[in-house]
């Protein structure tokens, strides 16, 4: 009970604290023509850019008392059946792979599954307060564009015989080792965005229906990441973002080159989100 009360106070206090200085920012998803997944930063040319300050993550260990990314700019649009979000932030290093030497860059947006006067705890939700999270991952995008990471990339200084098992045994005998290696490197991905749900720290779960899509571009100094999904919800684990909806949006960004992964991130609590009628 105490923990739920603390989450509720935090959910209400963060937007109020952010608005005390400059008034609460509102992200409005501008109506645009067309239908289907919203792709490319050019789709957001007419949308208002809303700068959002990211704060340290100090609620769950390991903490991130000094996140690498301090500000992210958000734009949103919606067409006839999809909604899209463009996140932009400064980052001189494009972390495109997760390997022994570092992590990939990531960004995520979250929404309350149910709109209510008292929203769930920001970003990860709380028991009884479920959130949907769409997380873009630069390493997944690299998998889509260039193929899964290879053992040679994972272990660049290893001797070949350490992982080219079929050079020493028959193909049939080598297959169990190849299967284990493929499992260790993870599944192949058809999109750079993972569709997740959560009801508190430690409950993050991939959703059965993966609705999210997205792509990021890096120009040598900054990321521009588009995350898109259908407007309609599909049940108890996804938010409805149909025209006329007034809800909230939370954001997180990870700088892989600065060893940000998991709970180590910069984040922003609930921001008012309106989907244009």
**pLDDT score of 134:** 98
Tell which residue, 185, 220, 208, has the closest CA to residue 99: 185
**pLDDT score of 240:** 97
**pLDDT score of 156:** 73
What is the share, in percent, of the chain residues with pLDDT greater than 70? 80
- Locate all alpha helices (DSSP H) within 23-150, ordered by sequence: 138-146
Q: Where does the pLDDT of residue 53 fall: very low under 50, low under 70, confident under 90, or very high at 90 and above?
A: very high
For residue 170, is pLDDT > 60? yes
Average pLDDT over residues 211-239: 95
Query: E-assigned strands of the chain?
Result: 27-31, 50-53, 55-56, 71-78, 82-90, 106-112, 131-137, 193-198, 205-206, 213-218, 222-230, 246-254, 266-275
Asked if residues 106 and 258 have their Cβ atoms less than 8 Å apart, the reply is no
For residue 215, is pLDDT > 50? yes
Tell which residue, 13, 15, 17, 14, has the closest CA to residue 26: 15
Average pLDDT over residues 200-207: 94
Tell which residue, 33, 140, 51, has the closest CA to residue 87: 51
- Prediction pTM value: 0.84
| Mean pLDDT estimate for the chain | 86
**pLDDT score of 25:** 87
For the stretch 97-138, pLDDT in tens is 887 677 999 999 999 999 998 999 987 999 999 999 999 999
Helix (H, G, I), strand (E, B) or coil at 115: coil
Q: Where does the pLDDT of residue 42 fall: very low under 50, low under 70, confident under 90, or very high at 90 and above?
A: very high
């Amino acid at each position: 009970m105490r923990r739920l009360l603390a989450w509720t106070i935090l959910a209400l206090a963060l937007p109020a604290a952010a608005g005390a200085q400059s008034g609460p920012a509102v992200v409005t998803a501008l109506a645009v023509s067309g239908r289907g997944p919203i792709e490319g930063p050019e789709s957001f040319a007419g949308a208002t850019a809303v700068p959002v300050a990211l704060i340290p993550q100090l609620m769950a260990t390991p903490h991130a008392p000094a996140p690498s990314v301090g500000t992210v700019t958000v734009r949103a649009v919606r067409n006839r059946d999809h909604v899209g979000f463009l996140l932009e932030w400064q980052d001189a290093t494009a972390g495109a792979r997760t390997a022994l030497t570092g992590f990939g860059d990531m960004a995520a947006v979250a929404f309350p599954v149910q709109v209510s006067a008292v929203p769930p705890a920001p970003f990860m939700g709380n028991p009884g307060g479920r959130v949907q999270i769409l997380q873009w991952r630069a390493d997944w995008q690299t998998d889509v564009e260039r193929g899964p990471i290879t053992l040679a990339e994972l272990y660049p200084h290893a001797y070949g015989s350490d992982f080219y098992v079929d050079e020493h045994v028959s193909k049939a005998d080598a297959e169990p080792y190849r299967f284990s290696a493929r499992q260790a490197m993870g599944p192949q991905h058809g999109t750079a965005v993972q569709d997740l749900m959560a009801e508190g720290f430690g409950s993050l779960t991939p959703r059965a229906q993966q609705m999210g899509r997205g792509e990021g571009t890096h120009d040598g100094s900054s990321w521009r990441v588009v995350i898109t999904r259908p407007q309609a919800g599909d049940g108890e684990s996804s938010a409805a973002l149909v025209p006329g909806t007034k809800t909230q949006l939370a954001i997180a960004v990870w700088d892989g080159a600065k060893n940000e992964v998991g709970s180590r991130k910069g984040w922003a609590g609930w921001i008012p989100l309106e989907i244009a009628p």
